[in-house]
Structure 1
Amino acid sequence: MSAYEAELVVDGRESVADGVLALTLRHPLGEELPAWEPGAHIDVVLGPDLERQYSLCGDPAERHAWRIAVLREIDGRGGSAYVHAELRRGDKVRVRGPRNHFALEPTPRYRFVAGGIGITPILPMLAAAEAAGAEWTLLYGGRTRNSMAFTEELGRYGDRVTIAPQDETGLLDLAPVLDGLPDGTLVYCCGPGPLLDAVEASCPGGVLRVERFRPREQETGPDGEFEVVLERTGRTLTVFPGVSVLDTVRAAGVEVLYSCTEGTCGTCETDVLDGTPDHRDSVLTDEERAAGETMMICVSRCRGARLVLDL
């Protein structure tokens, strides 16, 4: 699986909320960047073993610039701290992508729910829904009004957008948004885990699309030994307990794309040709899991003794 990869220049650096920086990235030679659709993200390589995924939150029609927004996470793993402390206008960063596991599906009406930095993939979705003539609303929550990015930009949509800072209104009231959804409505939600869990509990089956920044808690099967057949080379590898498929194939010298190693970014998605995956990712929908056609090899395993992968 190939993907665009290049060093881009930080051409803009703007504070868009307390603790949130928006960065504009351009090609150093002014070349066009790959096309993308709302919901897409890119991998940003910040240093050795420091790679993060950020949603594209600009205008897909702008082919010469990508915009991302980065929340400074006090208890994070170092990526956001590096961006806020080290990246300056004129610096170069290596990026890969874009990839999209949160695509906006066409439908007559949408309900969007965003929490905090979860507004980033939702922002271009609103413009796309508006351009398509769909009926839509957005419920957007955060800790405080000053911590919520892009509120001024959202002002152009009027009363279709509800801004609900927790210190002013309490926890988001989901009932008015999610109760009695008309036929043909899709719900798109991105934000912290507790918000996603609450929305999932409130939505009828089949209407919800989510993107998670952290792995979901879930029950998994046994962490036993199994075999992986690499169809392209005919090699058979043993995946031992406590070792991922990703680490196993990389140790055997097979080059594969990967990034988060937590099952949230989708970079390592691999086609399954035979066998039943034990899905442990936070990317695939229930329908995609049931189909068993792909798996995230950084976290998912096998429900039997053997998997055949398109590697």
Structure 2
Amino acid sequence: MAAAIPPALVVDEVHAAAEGVRAVTLRAPDGGALPAWPPGAHLDVELPNWLRRQYSLCGDPGDPYRYRIAVKHEELSRGGSEYIHLFLRPGTRLRVGAPRTTFPEDTPPGTLYIAGGIGITAVLAMFVRDVRRGYAPTLLYAGRSRAGMPFLDELPGDAAVVVAASDEGRRLDLPARARSLPDRSEIVTCGPARMTAAVEAAFGGERFGRVHVERFRAEPRSFADDRAFVAECARSGKKVTVPAGETLMDALLKEDVPVGAGCREGVCGSCEVGVLNGEPEHRDLLGAPEGRMYPCVSRSVTETLVLDL
């Protein structure tokens, strides 16, 4: 039987992983096994200051007893990174969700991984897995300085790794890399908005496979004016009116219809729900699968949307 996620995990260790980056190790209160996780997965973490944040699992997927996350202290912190850097201590109990991923659970040989700064946490376990499989992946890892780039010492010594530290005068030449990459290559990336936009521009052509992106935050985008619609909840029988200017998520929660609530920006996937009828207006950055939507940002094209709730 697969291990179940405990109601809370215990902070086992907090230490500096690089300048401005804290690594946090979590374990079960009884020391038992934790649910397995696929490389590329992340956790929803509820902090003691009532904030919920998503952090990538960047430890060893083969370790059944510990999860590891790493958090950069953001200058304009919304409260999550600040709490972890200033107040989180070993012994603290944190509520977490089960590991989940928006990345593919498998990647083909020759995959190109591109990480910017703390974005290494999202791709590290996938890259190491592919190296161990003999898949010959390549990692491009960019940052302001090596001192602020975590886990450099954990990258396999025999792997194809390019470290581009700005203070050393090195930058990633993505167009040149795209010209040299074989056709149908797949790309996996996580980093700041400017970097992920440059990756999508360089590798977004038909010659390549899919570019799998995980973002820190949603990018500003424009949509048509909101229109009111009705969400019918097939299982509960509730009909919820969603006015213009209010999210589908908030309207559902007001009517006591439970949905997951994580980033509220359409980048984490924690609120995914099934759509049984009607046409969603997708506003997320994940690319919702057929028959699914993310109610934190997405709305409805049709007057009525029937949800599997």
- Could you give the per-residue CA deviations for residues 32-67 of structure 1, whole angstroms, max 9, x where no partner exists? 111100110001111354111000001111110000
Range 32-41 or range 256-265, more displaced: 256-265
TM norm structure 1: 0.93
- Could you give the per-residue CA deviations for residues 45-103 of structure 1, whole angstroms, max 9, x where no partner exists? 11354111000001111110000001000102010000011111122111112111123
Asked if residue 227 in structure 1 is aligned to residue 223 in structure 2, the reply is no
- Could you give the per-residue CA deviations for residues 96-125 of structure 1, whole angstroms, max 9, x where no partner exists? 121111234331211110000000011101
Q: How does 1:97-176 map to 2 (within 5 A)?
A: 97-154=98-155, 156-158=156-158, 160-176=160-176
| Structure-1 separation of matches of 2:107 and 2:144 | 31
| Structure-2 separation of matches of 1:180 and 1:220 | 37
Report SS of the residue matched to 2:168.
helix
Asked if residue 178 in structure 1 is aligned to residue 181 in structure 2, the reply is no
Report SS of the residue matched to 1:109.
coil
TM norm structure 2: 0.93
- Could you give the per-residue CA deviations for residues 20-41 of structure 1, whole angstroms, max 9, x where no partner exists? 0111100010111111001100
Asked if residue 54 in structure 1 is aligned to residue 28 in structure 2, the reply is no
| Structure-2 separation of matches of 1:296 and 1:270 | 6
Shift of 1:13: 1.3
Aligned to 1:310: 308
Report SS of the residue matched to 1:227.
strand
- Could you give the per-residue CA deviations for residues 259-294 of structure 1, whole angstroms, max 9, x where no partner exists? 111111111001111111111112226xx3xx3x11
Letter in 1 for 2:303: A
| Structure-2 separation of matches of 1:21 and 1:84 | 7
Report SS of the residue matched to 2:111.
strand
Relative to structure 1, is the Cα distance of residues 5 and 213 closer, same or farther in structure 2, using a 3 angstrom cutoff? farther
Aligned to 1:296: 294
Shift of 1:4: 3.9
* Conserved? CA contact 2:260–2:271, under 8 Å: yes
Report SS of the residue matched to 2:95.
strand
| Structure-2 separation of matches of 1:40 and 1:207 | 18
- Could you give the per-residue CA deviations for residues 156-198 of structure 1, whole angstroms, max 9, x where no partner exists? 3346111111122254211333224313421000000000000
* Conserved? CA contact 2:6–2:28, under 8 Å: no
Report SS of the residue matched to 2:97.
strand
Aligned to 1:278: 281
Aligned to 1:197: 197
Letter in 1 for 2:231: V
Letter in 1 for 2:181: L
| Structure-2 separation of matches of 1:127 and 1:170 | 23
Equivalent residues, number: 303
- Root mean square deviation of aligned Cα: 1.6
Letter in 2 for 1:79: G
| Structure-2 separation of matches of 1:4 and 1:106 | 26
Aligned to 1:241: 244
| Structure-2 separation of matches of 1:144 and 1:75 | 20
